[in-house]
Structure 1
Amino acid sequence: MNHSEDRIPVQIAYIGGGSLNWAPKLMADLAHDRRLAAEVRLYDLDLAAAQRNAAMGARFAPVSAGTPARYRACASLAEALAGADIVVVSILPGRFEDMAQDIGIPARHGIPQAVGDTVGPGGFVRALRAIPMLAEIGRAIGEHAPRAHVCNLTNPMSVLTGALYRGFPQIRAWGECHEVTKLRKQVAWIANRAAGAPRHSHRDVEVNVLGINHFTFVDRIAVAGRDMLPAYRDFAAAHGGTGWVEAEPDPADEHERYFGDRSKVKFDLLRRFGIPAAAGDRHLAEFLPAADYLDDSAGWGFGLTPVEYRQREQAAKRAAAEALARGDTAPAPGRSDEALVDQIAALMSGTPCISNVNLPNRGQIAGLPEGAVVETNAVFSGLGVTPVIAGRLPAALEPLVAAHAARQVALLDAVMADEAAALFPLFHSDPLVAPLEEAKARMMFQEMIAATGAWIPETLKGAA
């Protein structure tokens, strides 16, 4: 495709269009892309933030490799959704102050969390806030854009992708996550080192993905037709004790301190279960008892991300977005590591691509609950998003993953049915919470519900 008339027109509705994280990445990737002619309609509860992002998106036009995407803010969800081909959902469930409570209250009860947005006490309460929101968005999509393809970027991804389906069972939705990219980058480094030249990027690494979001594993790896699993096993064994990073970070780099890891947890999970773990250590550690990794996070080479730092980082991103929207700075349209634009192009063009995504389990992973949202590869094409049969997790690992998947389904069931009494037993059964005596766990749950109560339906506030 060399001419603007060859570009594929696509209408994208962005819910959470004031985003300071995912929206700028999408803008940069659309500017880099030569296949799509996109109109992006930005909807946000904060209309001014959506208007700022529309102005910021327009700044990418002069540097676009293809037809510049067009951006406009919408005052209503219905306006954004009308006629959409693609819907992107990227919202913050609550406020950073709520997230601070998700982390801080469990910490006072002796439970550390590195992220607190997926499982554990933080992920559970975040889901209580968010499930009604995502179900409402699903219903709105059913009313205004029932044939749209829907990408959810919001955590806890497994539960919230499921909530979209509860809101509109016929929805064509998937959850998109970049965590598997971390293992793929390691494999590309291994392949390039063996070749003696930088021949491969993470996009050249093929993996068979199986698990649930942020607790993902791979049992096959290939680069240019070569089986890379033996080389990865050797790499993990060589670095299991010290961990590995491609380049040592600057000790003053706060982002790296709080968001980076040395893959020691990944390598140890491979040792324990015989299968490479794919997600980042900060997420993987939260699926297991705190005594396994979180109680000694520094020893395992990863940090516990303080919400105070996230707030400062968000303020810096807001200032940068405002400067770009005003024209005080120029955009840097380099392509991100995200796969969303490739997925959109495949859906709109019919030229297939394969990505790891989160979809309801219809047999793509044996041994995990039917209907639970699981993460495997899927084929994006004119036929939609078709999951790839991934196989089965190792016998020792499968019960751990299955228990989390079942808990996520039960949580979604309880919230959608307003079954408040079912919530505390599920909360207490999480591996990070289970070691607490019931009375102490109930006290913590009560404190967390009270702290974030404004965002939780009245029918669920008696849950503790």
Structure 2
Amino acid sequence: MVNDQQLIDQSSRQQSLPELPDNRVKITYIGGGSRQWAPNLFRDLALCTDVKGEVALYDVNHKSAKLNAKFGNWVQNKEDAVGDWEYTAVEDRATALDGADFVILSTQFNPAETFVHDLDIPEKYGIYGAVAATIGPGGILRAMRTIPVYRELGTAIGEQCPDAWVLNYTNPMTWATRALYEAFPEINVLGLCHEVFHAQDMLADLVGEYFDEGRPDRDEIDINVKGINHFTWVDEAYWRGIDLFEVIDYHLKQEGALREFSVAEMADEDPFVDNNQVTFELYRRFGVLPAAGDRHLVEYAPWFIQGAMPDDLNRWGVKRTTSEYRSQHWEDNATDHQTYDVKSWMDGTEEFSLAESGEIAVDLIKTLTNGGMMKTHVNLPNHGQVSDLPDGAVVETNALITPNNVKPITAGSLPRPVRTQLCSHVETHETLIEAAVDDGNVDLAFQAFLNDPQVRTLQTETARELFAELIAAEESYLIDWDLDASDVLSESNAFHS
């Protein structure tokens, strides 16, 4: 028999139960004027019924953010949009971040004033970067521009929305993510990149080619991921219990699997073309599979960008991204598969279709918000995920995502010859972070620059002139670095010319 005191106790417990979440979230998009990632996100959100809410778009170019807000609401009003989202362009960053449940970072400096130099100036010194976005002399200059900005963003997130989940898409991925954690160690940042999906898609293609089962979805390809962004490796890959390394070995014995390409063949190819020849060459030499596109791999393993260019790069089926492409990609009238003209969609001059982008930001938001579980690759500080890389360095491995929780999955060690390559890049990452924290120490940054494998092909004095010329060309974007105190720059003719 229940007495009065028990009824009182039950009533008290019922009154103290937390309310169920209404699945309504605030997403703050820093870089909300984005021409690629933002339109992808809006379409994915329009097809999502598991969460709903508001998206605050902040961008230093407020006009672009306003255009994207207009586009987001336009997408939301499409007949086949089933989501419930409201888009607003916000002029003040603190206001945009206030109360955010999720923060998406996707920013870029004007390529015509930065990226162009990252590509063209090293070429004058014989360094033929294919992308120049995340490593090499151009990638290091991009990191020098980015690290101070992302340290400031990390501090702002710590002040305005410390419990928010932060999804970083900005390159250079490793440096940007590491800078956020350096500024606010308790931050919940996931660095996200789709290059590992490329490896899963390639393996799914091989399954579809050699098994009478049809091509599986990439999510059916189970891989053990370990390394750093754009230089990630796979030492185990399975589909339905089948060892896919055996499938790769079989494929490589087939006629035409390994081949050379000519300059003429590559002339009209898109710069994002991927023929997997570098991937297969590295697999044959080291016994583990690189999990990034060839255009990125050649910069981290720069054997492929030595010799007569572009012939010896094109021979591997890789095409360089030119500075002309980068600058035109930034222009308002740019039309290519990486840049979306939202005005043309809204005025009806270009056909618009509401289809999923293939990116996982919305899947992460759904899982972290209201349930389920997913496994995917993320960039996080190393706390044992890769046992033989330095603790605290940002590494890319699989992680298990559950509501409000991310658990990195231990990936194990790397073969010594591969680890040798990775450690060089990791130490360069850490040295440059240290230089930024040390009041913008340019001379320490130059030590990181000297240790880059692409730069090690130069005499030290030549490397100094390359570094100084890049600094001089992009000086207005390096205001957080103490250029006046640099002995390296004071010695240089390029900086003072």
- More divergent stretch after superposition (196-205 vs 375-384): 196-205
Query: Quick one: structure 1 residues 319 and 281, their matched pair in 2 at CA, closer, same or farther if it must change by over 3 Å?
Result: closer
Residue 315 of structure 2 is aligned with which of 280, 295, 299? Answer: 299
Residue-by-residue CA offset, 1:168-190 (whole Å, 9 max, x unaligned): 11100010000011111111112
Deviation at 1:457, TM superposition (A): 2.5
Query: Quick one: structure 1 residues 458 and 193, their matched pair in 2 at CA, closer, same or farther if it must change by over 3 Å?
Result: closer
SS in 1 for 2:455: coil
Deviation at 1:449, TM superposition (A): 0.2
Deviation at 1:292, TM superposition (A): 5.9
CA contact (8 A) 2:133 2:139 kept: yes
Superposition map of 1:277-426 within 5 A: 277-290=290-303, 295=309, 296-315=312-331, 316-317=334-335, 320-326=341-347, 329=350, 331-418=352-439, 419-426=441-448
Residue-by-residue CA offset, 1:304-335 (whole Å, 9 max, x unaligned): 10121133334325772222345655532211
Distance, in Å, in 1 between the alignment partners of 2:132 and 2:275 is 19
Distance, in Å, in 2 between the alignment partners of 1:134 and 1:236 is 43
TM-score normalized by the length of structure 1 = 0.92
Amino acid at match of 2:470: M
Residue 142 of structure 1 is aligned with which of 158, 163, 183? Answer: 158
SS in 2 for 1:434: helix
Match of 1:261 in 2: 274
Match of 1:47 in 2: 62
Structure 1: any 5+ residue segments left out of the alignment? 245-249
Match of 1:167 in 2: 183
SS in 2 for 1:165: helix
Match of 1:154 in 2: 170
- More divergent stretch after superposition (451-460 vs 323-332): 323-332
- More divergent stretch after superposition (210-219 vs 331-340): 331-340
Match of 1:241 in 2: 258
Q: Which protein is bigger by CA-based radius of gyration?
A: 2
Distance, in Å, in 2 between the alignment partners of 1:64 and 1:7 is 23
SS in 1 for 2:28: strand
Structure 2: any 5+ residue segments left out of the alignment? 1-19, 490-497
Query: Quick one: structure 1 residues 381 and 291, their matched pair in 2 at CA, closer, same or farther if it must change by over 3 Å?
Result: closer
1:117 and 2:133 correspond: yes
CA contact (8 A) 1:243 1:262 kept: no
- More divergent stretch after superposition (425-434 vs 66-75): 66-75
SS in 1 for 2:271: helix
TM-score normalized by the length of structure 2 = 0.86
Distance, in Å, in 2 between the alignment partners of 1:7 and 1:207 is 35
Query: Quick one: structure 1 residues 251 and 35, their matched pair in 2 at CA, closer, same or farther if it must change by over 3 Å?
Result: farther
Query: Quick one: structure 1 residues 278 and 319, their matched pair in 2 at CA, closer, same or farther if it must change by over 3 Å?
Result: closer
CA contact (8 A) 1:63 1:333 kept: no
Distance, in Å, in 1 between the alignment partners of 2:306 and 2:477 is 31
Residue-by-residue CA offset, 1:19-55 (whole Å, 9 max, x unaligned): 0011111112112223221311100001110000011
- More divergent stretch after superposition (89-98 vs 124-133): 89-98
Match of 2:454 in 1: 432
Match of 1:247 in 2: none
CA contact (8 A) 1:251 1:257 kept: no
Aligned residue pair count? 454
Distance, in Å, in 1 between the alignment partners of 2:175 and 2:432 is 8
Match of 2:27 in 1: 12
- More divergent stretch after superposition (415-424 vs 358-367): 415-424
Amino acid at match of 2:424: A
Deviation at 1:158, TM superposition (A): 0.5
Query: Quick one: structure 1 residues 370 and 21, their matched pair in 2 at CA, closer, same or farther if it must change by over 3 Å?
Result: same
Deviation at 1:67, TM superposition (A): 2.1
Match of 2:202 in 1: 186
Query: Quick one: structure 1 residues 38 and 272, their matched pair in 2 at CA, closer, same or farther if it must change by over 3 Å?
Result: farther
Match of 1:452 in 2: 474
SS in 1 for 2:176: helix
Match of 1:274 in 2: 287
Q: What's the % identity of the aligned pairs? A: 37
CA contact (8 A) 1:94 1:455 kept: no
Distance, in Å, in 1 between the alignment partners of 2:259 and 2:79 is 43
CA contact (8 A) 1:13 1:88 kept: yes
- More divergent stretch after superposition (62-71 vs 121-130): 62-71
Amino acid at match of 2:292: A
Distance, in Å, in 2 between the alignment partners of 1:374 and 1:431 is 19
Distance, in Å, in 2 between the alignment partners of 1:441 and 1:84 is 44
CA contact (8 A) 1:209 1:217 kept: yes
Deviation at 1:424, TM superposition (A): 1.2
- More divergent stretch after superposition (323-332 vs 402-411): 323-332
